[in-house]
Amino acid sequence: MPVEILIIGGGVVGCAVARELSRLDASVTLIDRADDVAEGASKANSGIVHAGFDAKPDSQKARFNVAGSRMFAGYCREVHAPFVRAGALVLAFDAEQRAHLDKLLAQGNNNGVEGLRMLEQAEVLAMEPAVNPAVLCALYAPTSGLTSPYELTCALADHAAVNGVRFQLNTEATRITRDGSGFAVETSRGVIRADVLVNCAGVFSADLHNQISPRRLSIVPRKGEYYLLDHEETPVFSRTLFQTPTKMGKGVLVSPTAHKTMVLGPTAQDTADALDVATTADALAQVREKALLTWPQMSLRTVITTFAGMRAHEVGDDFIVGETEGAPGAYEAVGIESPGLTAAPAIAQALAAQIAAAHSLTPKAAWVPAPQRPKPFADMTDEERQAACERDPAYGSLVCRCEQVTEAEVRAAIRRPVGARNIDAIKRRTRAGMGRCQGGFCSPRVMEILAEELGISPLAVTKFGGESRVVVGTIADAAKGDA
């Protein structure tokens, strides 16, 4: 019988681990409490691939950050996910901040980050003319990059699935106990037994860890709030702009995204509620105030949405990756906050290697490459669009005007190996609803296509799973009630 491996958590780390384990001759299942992968921190972060200069030397964060950063470009090519090697600047506005950047430069060199150097004011402004002219200097990190965290997570899930990993969503792990030489995991959909357990549960990872390990861990949910600005013909900045970091994190950044929008944020507020991702006026005012220091000409007239994400901050302030102390056969990635996205490829590789060695797992005879992704309609030339419409007339039906997403692309998103099952899942895979109207025009058509493809009533279509139904009845039913 093959070794049964259960992964808890469908974020970027969990899906990266699933992909690595799919190379091995084992039976792998991934569960997540949500209706889709990437529903936690992996859908709500800045999408920055960090260079690794601000991680404490000799820490797990530093090790996995730098290793992951080096892997990232090739990693995204393999699974057909967006990646841009944009570079980053950390800005200083006074002598004290300059001294801090000198420390970051030395720290980054110690961590093995390549290409770091200090720039004086004139060079900073030559690179990014819209930066506050009061800037004194900046630390330049050319290896910093940009990705789409949710698109990457979905691509990793698809690659794992075509290589045999089972994805069981809407399945919340509630209790873990020893079951002979393995584990019994009580879930919202029954008990799952596994020989090997991999805990990638984000803000809930310490809770699961503490059920099977004598070592106590504690996660403090740390909320970050953001503004998202609409894309422009010519982005104002080409690089990620950080301010000098504080003990609460890297601070408010101003950055382009992989899709040429602009993101501002995040804040950093510790909270007791790991599921509270509501935005607040006070926190967004902080983002605006701090972003203005970087970009004095900033206007919020092009804001298309605000959002919040929750980071899993472990009180020891480091990643905890490897076999779970006191629980042979259990492995974990706990406290994976920033730079967790960057570190994900390296974390997954390390965990898979450790599991393979401990359980004598051998590579499969054949491992299928990641599914190809057709070029987005929005990026096609006129000639390519005409050819696409001739192949599939559904390319001629535009669903999302803001982001130029077609019916063919929406249907393809639902039919993927780990396909979309709700409106937000369509948005993450196609960008339908990501534009300036935020789904105001396209959501009804997306809802219709979901109902057709899934064979369900439009009344059963949800925004993000659970009870988030988009419509509650029909006009005909309402008329009957009034009669």
Annotated active-site positions, please?
50
Yes or no: is domain 377-473 CATH 1.10.10.1100? Answer: yes
Per-residue model confidence as pLDDT tens digits over 59-91: 999 999 999 999 999 999 999 999 999 999 999
Phi, psi at residue 467, to the nearest 5°? -100, 20
Judged by phi (left if over 0) then psi (alpha if -120 to 50, else beta), residue 360 lies in left
Helices (H), 295-414: 340-358, 382-391, 407-414
Q: At 371, give phi and psi (nearest 5°).
A: -60, 135
Per residue in 351-410, pLDDT (tens digit) is 999 999 999 999 999 999 999 999 999 999 999 999 999 999 999 999 999 999 999 999
Angle, helix 423-430 to helix 149-162, in steps of 10 degrees = 100
Q: What percent of the chain has pLDDT over 70?
A: 98
- Is a pLDDT exceeding 60 seen at residue 483? no
Spans of all domains in the chain: 82-145+222-308, 377-473
Crossing angle for the helix pair 60-79 and 340-358, to the nearest 10 degrees = 90
pLDDT of 247 = 67
Asked whether residue 28 carries a pLDDT value surpassing 60, the answer given is: yes
pLDDT score of 227: 98
Say whether pLDDT at 124 is over 70. Answer: yes
Q: How much is the average pLDDT of 284-308? A: 96
**pTM attached to this predicted model:** 0.97
pLDDT above 90 coverage of the chain, percent = 94
Average pLDDT for residues 209-216, to the nearest whole number? Answer: 98
Instruction: Tell me the CATH number of domain 82-145+222-308, given options 3.50.50.60, 3.90.550.10, 3.30.9.10, 3.30.1330.200.
Output: 3.30.9.10
Note the pLDDT of residue 444. 96
Q: If you average pLDDT over every residue of the chain, what do you get?
A: 96
The per-residue pLDDT for range 417-449, each reduced to its tens digit, is: 999 999 999 999 999 999 999 999 999 999 999
Task: Report pLDDT for 475.
Answer: 85
pLDDT digits (tens, 9 = 90+) for 168-206: 999 999 999 999 899 999 999 999 999 999 999 999 999
Instruction: Give the pLDDT band of residue 245 (cuts 50, 70, 90).
Output: confident
Contact 139, 105 (CB under 8 A): yes
Which whole number is the average pLDDT over 247-274? 90
pLDDT of res. 235: 81
Is the per-residue pLDDT at 117 higher than 70? Answer: yes
